[in-house]
């Protein structure tokens, strides 16, 4: 059961995955066409590895088919098994060619990372830093603006004009941005 100088085997067993017995004539035919199956897999896929799984599947499939039609045990199952193997191999190759590889693991990590959460955290940290630096009055103004109060309403609460409260607030924000906050 070697493939092109390498020792590659398929799992020859008495029963299939569902526990049904596999016919001995089909198993024998599988051993006899194994080298040819490996060569065909290598030609079509440039790889020997899928041949083992495909052979296991094909042997079980052909065995079920022959049992279903009531075929007698015989030693001449090579052609049927090889045809079934080649059909399974072509399906596997077609499915593999439909897969579009996007790159290596490094490429995928660049596409999968969502930086939105980082921006939200940084914005929150910046806001907290600004609030800590604001005067008590302008911290209250910021809290009220965050609660959707209009400048006119905030001005009434503090007993000043809307333009005065707004200008004082933005003047202090500007000083904080420049790093020159005066008390």
Contact 10, 52 (CB under 8 A): yes
Q: First and final CA of the chain: distance in angstroms?
A: 86
CA distance 48 to 6: 10
The reported pLDDT for the residue numbered 102 is 61
> Three-state SS for 151?
helix
The DSSP code for 181 is -
Residue 19 falls within a domain, yes or no?
yes
Considering the domain boundaries, does residue 108 fall inside one?
A: no
Last residue of a domain, one of 66, 98, 130: 98
Give me the count of residues in the chain. Answer: 183
* pLDDT of amino acid 183: 46
88 and 122: one domain? no
What is the residue-wise DSSP string for 102-137? Answer: ---HHHHHHHH---HHHHHHHHHHHHHHHHHHS-HH
Domain count, the chain: 2
58 and 124 in a single domain? The answer is: no
Q: Quick check: is 21 in a domain?
A: yes
CA distance 116 to 121: 9
12-63 pLDDT per residue, tens: 888 888 889 999 999 999 999 999 999 999 998 888 889 999 999 999 999 9
| Structural domain for 54, as ranges | 2-98
Q: Are 151 and 68 part of one and the same domain?
A: no
24 lies in the same domain as 60: yes
Residues 93 and 158 in one domain: no
Q: Is residue 107 part of a domain?
A: no
Structure tokens at 78: 């090579």
Same domain, 59 and 143: no
Angle between helices 162-178 and 136-146 (to 10 degrees): 110
pLDDT tens column, 106-148: 665 666 566 788 888 888 888 888 888 999 999 999 889 988 8
Domain CATH number, residue 139:
1.10.10
Same structural domain, 16 and 94: yes
Both 120 and 94 in one domain: the answer is: no
**pTM for this model (two decimals):** 0.51
Judgement on whether residues 173 and 146 belong to the same structural domain of the protein: yes
Reading phi first (left if > 0) and then psi (alpha if -120 to 50, else beta), residue 4 is in left
Residue 6 in 3-state DSSP? strand
Q: Are residues 120 and 90 in the same domain?
A: no
- pLDDT, position 109: 62
Which among 62, 15, 59, 13 has a CA at the least distance from the CA of 34? Answer: 59
């Amino acid at each position: 059961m070697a493939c092109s100088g390498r020792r590659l085997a398929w799992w020859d067993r008495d029963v299939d995955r569902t526990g049904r017995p596999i016919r001995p004539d089909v198993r024998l035919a599988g051993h006899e066409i194994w080298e040819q199956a490996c060569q065909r897999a290598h030609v079509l896929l440039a790889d020997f590895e899928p041949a083992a799984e495909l052979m296991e599947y094909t042997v079980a499939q052909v065995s079920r088919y022959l049992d279903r039609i009531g075929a007698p045990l015989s030693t001449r199952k090579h052609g049927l098994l090889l045809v079934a193997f080649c059909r399974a191999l072509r399906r596997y190759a077609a499915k593999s060619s439909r897969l579009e590889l996007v790159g290596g693991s490094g490429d995928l990590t660049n596409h999968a990372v969502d930086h939105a959460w980082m921006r939200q955290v940084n914005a929150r940290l910046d806001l907290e830093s600004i609030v800590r630096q604001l005067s008590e009055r302008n911290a209250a103004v910021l809290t009220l603006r965050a609660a959707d109060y209009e400048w006119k309403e905030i001005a009434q609460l503090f007993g000043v004009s809307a333009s005065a409260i707004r200008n004082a607030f933005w003047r202090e924000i500007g000083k904080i941005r420049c790093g020159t906050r005066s008390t």
